[in-house]
């Protein structure tokens, strides 16, 4: 954790999970460039500290590193205690930390070095098919993905809610994707339940994910109508999107939204994306920094409000 830096009482405070690389790093850079104090979190202390140093070398001294594994409950509590003691509140939480929930055939960085020529001229759909060929769907990766991408994100959100509610205009942004849209599911009853936000519960989401993982283990994903490519990543996002709507309904005093930054060139996408991390982060900030009193409980696609289905 970084040493103390002076904070003006009117300075806004942002926490970004998974902030050491990719979209998360660019979100930290762009928020800090706007004078917002940023707590950049990452699982790996060495990489997180290096990311903060890179931003400081670029003249952004209003960034602080705090180690956080979003699946570690004591670590979430330590972060909350630090934030409460240091600031008494936070104004923004950007839930960006996530896993691909697959096993990569080889290091995405190595693939990226040779893929640019191969990908040239491909459509988005063709790039996604190429990406699917570079990963394996395995049960351990699926379980870890659900535990991190849904339950870890949920636990961080719940742990920091009191600090967000202490702010005059607290905001939560869940970094999502079109991979999390309800329409990809084939179970019509489940789709109706997920879109019935007045009656949707966290218990229902738990039941859905338990059933999904059982079907994954039984090799029955396609037969039961679940997604089959980046399957657990998609299902974690479906659950996360639904959870965002539940808590937006529960906490009217906060602004809570999901946002798809676009198809981004990162290690998670094996660098197949068509937008840079900086472009993706800009799309996220369009939503995070909407005027006070703006929409809540919504989904945005590249900065524009869109349906969850």
pLDDT of residue 195: 97
**The pair of three-digit structure tokens given for residue 47, joined into one six-digit string:** 């990489």
Distance CA 195, CA 182 (A): 8
Q: Three-state SS for 275?
A: strand
State the 10-residue block means of pLDDT for the chain, 309 residues long. Answer: 57 98 98 98 98 98 98 98 98 98 90 82 95 96 98 98 98 98 97 97 98 98 97 98 98 98 95 96 98 97 97
Q: Kindly report the CA angle at 148 between 147 and 154, in degrees rounded to 5?
A: 90
pLDDT of residue 9: 61
Cβ contacts of 67 within 8 Å, gap of 6 or more: 1, 41, 42, 43, 45, 48, 75
Cβ contacts of 145 within 8 Å, gap of 6 or more: 99, 100, 101, 102, 232, 233, 236
The whole model's pTM is what? 0.96
Distance CA 2, CA 66 (A): 7
pLDDT of residue 8: 58
CB 111 within 8 A of CB 271: yes
* CATH class in words for 13-306: alpha beta
Half-sphere exposure of 294 (CA within 13 A, CB side): 19
25 phi, psi to nearest 5 deg: -65, -40
297 phi, psi to nearest 5 deg: 75, 25
DSSP single-letter state for residue 148: I
Cβ contacts of 220 within 8 Å, gap of 6 or more: none
Q: Which residues are marked as active site?
A: 233
């Amino acid at each position: 954790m970084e040493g103390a830096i002076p904070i003006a009482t009117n300075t806004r405070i942002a926490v970004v999970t998974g902030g050491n690389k990719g979209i998360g790093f660019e979100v930290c850079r762009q928020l800090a460039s706007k004078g917002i104090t940023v707590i950049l979190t990452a699982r790996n202390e060495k990489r997180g500290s290096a990311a903060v140093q890179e931003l400081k070398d670029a003249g952004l001294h209003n960034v602080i590193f705090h180690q956080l594994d979003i699946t570690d409950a004591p670590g979430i509590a330590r972060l909350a205690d630090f934030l409460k003691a240091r600031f008494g509140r936070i104004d923004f939480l950007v839930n960006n930390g996530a896993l691909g929930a697959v096993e990569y055939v080889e290091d995405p960085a190595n693939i990226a070095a040779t893929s640019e020529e191969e990908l040239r001229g491909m459509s988005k759909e063709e790039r996604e098919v190429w990406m699917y060929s570079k990963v394996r769907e395995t049960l351990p990766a699926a379980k870890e993905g659900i535990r991190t991408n849904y339950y870890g994100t949920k636990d961080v959100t719940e742990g920091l809610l009191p600090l967000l509610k202490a702010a005059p205009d607290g905001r939560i942004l869940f970094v999502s994707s079109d991979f999390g849209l309800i329409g990809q599911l084939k179970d019509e009853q489940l789709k109706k339940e997920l879109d019935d936000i007045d009656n949707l519960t966290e218990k229902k989401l738990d039941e859905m994910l338990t059933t999904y993982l059982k079907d994954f283990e039984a090799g029955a994903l396609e037969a039961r109508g679940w997604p089959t490519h980046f399957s657990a990543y998609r299902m974690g996002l479906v659950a996360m999107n639904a959870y965002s709507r539940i808590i937006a309904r529960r906490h009217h005093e906060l602004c809570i939204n999901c946002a798809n930054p676009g198809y981004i060139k990162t290690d998670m996408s094996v660098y197949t994306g068509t937008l840079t991390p900086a472009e993706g982060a800009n799309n996220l900030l369009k939503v995070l920094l909407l005027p006070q009193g703006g929409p809540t409980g919504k989904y945005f696609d590249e900065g524009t409000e869109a349906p969850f289905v």
